Structure 1
Amino acid sequence: MAAARAFRKQLTWRFAIHGASTAIVGDSQLKYLHQHFDPASPHSPAFLCQPGTCIGDIGELLDFVPKSTSNLILHIGSNDLANKNAPTAFNRYVALLDRIRHEKPDIPMVFATPVLPRAPNQRLRRHNWRAVRRFNFEVWEFNLRLLSLCHEREGVFYVNHRIDALPPWTVLVADGLHPSFAGVSLLAWNIYNLLLDLRRPYINNWLELAPQPEAGAYELREAPSYSQALRRDSSDATC
């Protein structure tokens, strides 16, 4: 629990008003993803963002996942591949999936997102082309292994954002690491469609009759005058 308390100081979490059935856990690339969702919607996910987190750190964040969660989306691996090779990072990912299945048996479905490729950091005086080239090669191998794992393992699914098909300068900010506004929008759009697919089995029945509005929803009411509003507010203020 000491590690969990230490994480809580840096952890950024966003919970919807209603209990979320889906939680998204990942690194700082998810920092602004919640801005594309409505916190009042019962279908919005919970967001847990830990800057600088690695695959092995996610296990310490499971305590913060809401108990109502039945679907978990993982967006991790970028920090691991910055200084580790793809096989090492992949083995850690498999160990994380085993831990989730053991500690969170109420979460039957885990969705794995691919690691996003990087672009040269334009804020540096000397471009880091060599490091970016090595990183993207490890990303390519890691994502292939992850895709194969999702095909073979029950309850684990692959969510491809297709960001690698776009020019880096259109989806990444100047540091070449974090997604830009367009990149975050693309991530949010894919997550939104994933959530819609999860609900689709429950919304595929068409109604034979038009849904009726709630009682009093369209009731015409006379607008109160200014003096009436003042009297109403003053009476409400008393206790």
Structure 2
Amino acid sequence: RVSPLRPTHAPPPPPSLLPAMRACLLALLAVGADALLTFAPVRPACSRAAVAMKVFDWKVRGSEQPALEGLDLSSLSKAPGSAHRGMRKGRGVSAGKGVTCGFGNRGQKSRSGRSVRPGFEGGQIPLYRRLPKFVGRPTGAGHTKTEYEIIKISALNKVSEGSEVDYSSLLDMRAVSKSKLKLNKVVGGAEKLSVKGLKVKAHAFTDSARAEIEALGGSCITISPTTNKVIEA
């Protein structure tokens, strides 16, 4: 009696069928080996074009330069190999400036925006506070002082009436002394003007000097401080 819980096995084939089974198995193996030897992959009907890759030929110091027809600002160029390309930031670790972009992991200088103001030296007394102030010169933005060579109105009494006078002509007459200052200004003084009809050229005039010259029929001509050309007559 066979138990239902035990698996049943098929009876072995009779010994007379073993040679036939071996022959069939060998025939199947031979057919499979022949199919493997004669296998050819299926190729598509349309052929793909070869993929072309762009090759960058960077200039080196030994490369030849074309001959220059004319040398001007538009034809100037750097020598090959003398300048290197700038390193791009944030383009991967292999690029050299990736991840933190050269600013480090943390700290004040790694934050966004301006890190430290100009002139800050970490808390110590900065240079602009260690140096002494210049006497007579105001500090801060907008404090400028134009220095003029003074021409007293008494020096104009040495010229003839109705003539045109400026600093160079007065210097030739030795009415004024030579100065290193390039700008000159006509000012009043204790001695009054007595010459009539003068045409005075200067970079600036005081109100009192202008009034005296014009009261005697003269004119004040203001010239440019840079080009010495007439800007106001």
Structure whose residues are more often helix by fraction:
1
Tell whether the structures are fold-level matches, with TM greater than 0.5: no
Shorter-chain TM-score tier: under 0.3
* Higher RCO structure, 1 or 2 (CA under 8 Å, sep 6+): 1
Indicate the structure (1 or 2) with the bigger Cα radius of gyration.
2
TM-score normalized by the length of structure 1: 0.19
